Amino acid sequence: MTKLSAIPIAAACALIAATTALGAGTDVLVSSGSPPAPFSQNKQNEPAIAIDANHPNVLVSGSNDEIDMEACNAGNDTTCPFTQGVGVSGVYFSFDSGQTWTQPTYTGWTGRDCLGTPGADAGCTPNVGSIGTLPWYYENGLVSDGDPAVAFGPKPVNGTFSWANGSRLYYANLTSNFGATRSEEAFKGFEAIAVSRTDNVQSAAASNKAAWMAPVLVSHQSTTTFSDKEQVWADNASASPFFGRVYICWANFVGQEKGNAAPLHDPDRQPRQRLRLRRRDGFLAGPYRFRARLDLEQRRWNVVGAAPSRGTCHATRNLRPGPRTADDRRHRRCAQRPCSRAQRGHRQRRPDRR
């Protein structure tokens, strides 16, 4: 495992580039439901993709998709805001190894009918209608805020994971409160991490909202918490002792009420990385906290993965030496730390029984 972790990044990237060049094909549009206009309904960014290891012809992709936002001509033409309460976690499916893609339509809070006209107009109010993003957020007092991370794992039946049960798709994303007042909030803080799941991607791709389970909040929140930059991975190696476990890693920013999201150059207020896993019995465990060395600043980009057969989880994040400087991009370094129970460097909590 040590040798595997020590593969030079440059060599790994070169291998990926060479493989891509050999197998390159025609570009295919993934966001198939995206309209040609208006802006910003035709805008997507920050994509993620996953392949079902049990059915390699099945792929899922996610992105920040503004298909349900109001058009820039709605209301004041000089502004193009995010429509309050409208989600942006787009989802797309392919069942032919990526040759064609479909984007389902569900129902939820939408502003896609708010097109407006050039010049002054009264604008319009979002309503319940068609959405091209994850379902069940509005109904649970939440907004899907994108930054997608997707992974396939085995479906659990009676607490046991097996590919014979089928596959489960996990879609992790940021989420905020739909309600504007404290009495309406679904969680404390500014931004949380939520996970959507489906055990029937064919039905979900066919616009069946019922194929999705309600989103689950996985981050521990306080009134000053901003959770961000999550990644998700499911242990899909049947030989692994932790087969079926799901790992989610994210950055935890605090101090938002002071207009300062935990300055990275202050070792005492560095954003802690957190990891949560779903145990074999189906309960959520964690989150487990771990921090960078105090002489290194911790960046917020995370990658989490599980090593086949041994079941060791690795969370990787970017670090850089010392306080922030004008040429800090030259100093980025990458650190990798195992997240197994025996590993030092993080504090463990009693598992959440839910």
Structure tokens at 314: 């690795």
Asked if residue 353 is part of any domain, the answer here is no
From CA 117, how far away is CA 120, in angstroms rounded?
7
From CA 8, how far away is CA 312, in angstroms rounded?
20
pLDDT in tens, 238-262: 988 889 988 888 877 776 554 444 4
Contact yes or no for 68/112 (Cβ under 8 A):
yes
**End-to-end CA, the chain:** 32
Instruction: Work out the widest C-alpha separation in the chain, in whole angstroms.
Output: 63
Q: In this structure, which amino acid lies at residue 185?
A: E
Asked if residue 352 is part of any domain, the answer here is no
What residues contact 123, with CB distance under 8 A and at least 6 apart?
70, 74, 75, 76, 114, 116
How many structural domains does the chain have?
1
Strand order across the beta sheet in which 246-253 lies: 226-234, 246-253, 272-278, 284-290, 346-347
Asked if residue 134 is part of any domain, the answer here is yes
Q: What is the pLDDT of residue 181?
A: 67
Asked if residue 354 is part of any domain, the answer here is no
Range of the domain at 11: 2-347
Q: What is the pLDDT of residue 342?
A: 30
Q: What is the pLDDT of residue 64?
A: 95
What residues contact 308, with CB distance under 8 A and at least 6 apart?
237, 239, 240
Q: What is the pLDDT of residue 7?
A: 35
Q: What is the pLDDT of residue 284?
A: 47
Residue-wise pLDDT tens for the chain (354 aa)?
433 333 333 434 444 444 445 556 789 999 998 888 788 778 899 999 999 999 999 999 999 999 998 888 777 767 777 888 999 999 999 999 999 999 999 999 998 888 767 777 777 888 999 999 999 999 999 999 999 999 999 999 998 999 999 999 999 999 999 987 677 788 777 888 999 999 999 999 999 999 999 999 988 777 777 787 888 989 999 988 889 988 888 877 776 554 444 433 333 444 454 555 544 444 445 555 544 443 434 444 455 554 444 555 666 655 555 555 444 444 444 344 434 333 322 333 333 333
Q: What phi and psi, each to the nearest 5 degrees, are found at residue 204?
A: -65, -40
Q: What is the pLDDT of residue 289?
A: 53
DSSP 148-164: -EEEEEEEEETTEEEEE
From CA 87, how far away is CA 219, in angstroms rounded?
19
Strand partners, 338: 314
Asked if residue 7 is part of any domain, the answer here is yes
Cis status, amide bond into 40, omega within 30 of 0 = yes
Say which CATH number the domain at 137 has: 2.120.10
From CA 148, how far away is CA 90, in angstroms rounded?
8
Q: In this structure, which amino acid lies at residue 206?
A: A
Asked if residue 308 is part of any domain, the answer here is yes
CA angle, 152 then 319 then 345, to 5°: 75
* Dihedral angle of Cα 261, 263, 267, 268, to the nearest 10 degrees: -40
From CA 176, how far away is CA 153, in angstroms rounded?
26
Structure tokens at 128: 């319940």
From CA 61, how far away is CA 54, in angstroms rounded?
17
Alpha helices in 23-152 (DSSP H): none
Element containing residue 5 per DSSP (H, E): helix 2-5
Asked if residue 197 is part of any domain, the answer here is yes
- Whether the model clears a pTM of 0.85, i.e. scores above it, the answer is no
3-state secondary structure of 189: coil
3-state secondary structure of 329: helix
Strand partners, 288: 275
Asked if residue 276 is part of any domain, the answer here is yes
